[in-house]
Amino acid sequence: MTGLSRSASPLSPPAPSGCFVTGTDTGVGKTVVMAALALCLRRRGVSVGVMKPVETGYGASSAGPSDGERLRACLAVDDPDAFMSPYQFAAPLAPLAAARQVGAVISLDRIAEAYGRLAARYRSVLVEGAGGLCVPLTDRDDMRDLIERLALPVVLVGRCALGGVNHALLTLEALQTRKILVLALVLNRPLPHQAASDADLQMASTVELLRERSGAPVLGPLPYVASLTEGGTAGVSELAHDPGIETLADLISRNGS
């Protein structure tokens, strides 16, 4: 899955300033980080578009709003689903498995075309992946191939708890093998603080080791914001003022200049 032949496709989109937000795993807070980053950039006067190319578990009542719906609500954007979320599958499975269940085939061409439409509308476009980096999209493509196709640098979101070091370093190594630029590793706290000495020690040691070994700027840990679990926009707006998000916005702007 080198992606070399695909990158030469005439349908490859332009490359505005922006990034591809991926995670070390599912549930690490990619959507929240991307929404906060988009709000931070918007406050600086940057026009920002957002995209979630593939959503699974879409429409399940037990799952609450989808990632695309949350992004649309937080940012009050009115771009059509065909641009923001060209693929939506009901099954809560990996993208390839969810597509196979309904006889669909995910096309990187279609995603690239939708991205190009957003890139023509906005100065900066932020794209959120599904799950982790090596999640398969087609019989021969995974999330790394999509990142290469869109020619975007990566923001990696990871946990600052036990297991976070291994997951982050493996993901960074997978990006390095493709020579994909990593703007930053953002450590997130998707769960409330645990009043235990072990939890504090685990978080501190995770941050320290990743700063030593990652080879990328390490931002955070971002604070846990209780209102984020309520599905509202206030928590995202609060997080958009965090110094880690502000620094991430600086990196995005600098890379696009």
Spatial separation of the C-alpha atoms in residues 175 and 132, rounded to whole Å: 12
Catalytic residue among 6, 52, 70, 144: 52
Please give the pLDDT value at position 15.
Answer: 47
Please give the pLDDT value at position 235.
Answer: 83
| Token pair belonging to 67 | 């990632």
Each residue's pLDDT tens digit, 171-194: 999 999 999 999 999 999 866 666
Please give the pLDDT value at position 165.
Answer: 95
Pair 175, 133: CB distance under 8 Å: yes
Going from the N-terminus, what domains does the chain have, and what CATH number goes with each?
4-256 (3.40.50.300)
Q: Which residue has the tokens 């900066």?
A: 124
Spatial separation of the C-alpha atoms in residues 38 and 30, rounded to whole Å: 12
pTM listed for this prediction:
0.88
Average pLDDT, the chain: 87
Is 30 assigned a catalytic role? Answer: no
Please give the pLDDT value at position 232.
Answer: 56
Residues of the chain with pLDDT under 50: 1-15
Please give the pLDDT value at position 71.
Answer: 85
Amino acid making up residue 81:
D
Distances 144 to 23, 105, 106, 158, 196 between C-alpha atoms, Å: 12, 18, 15, 17, 37
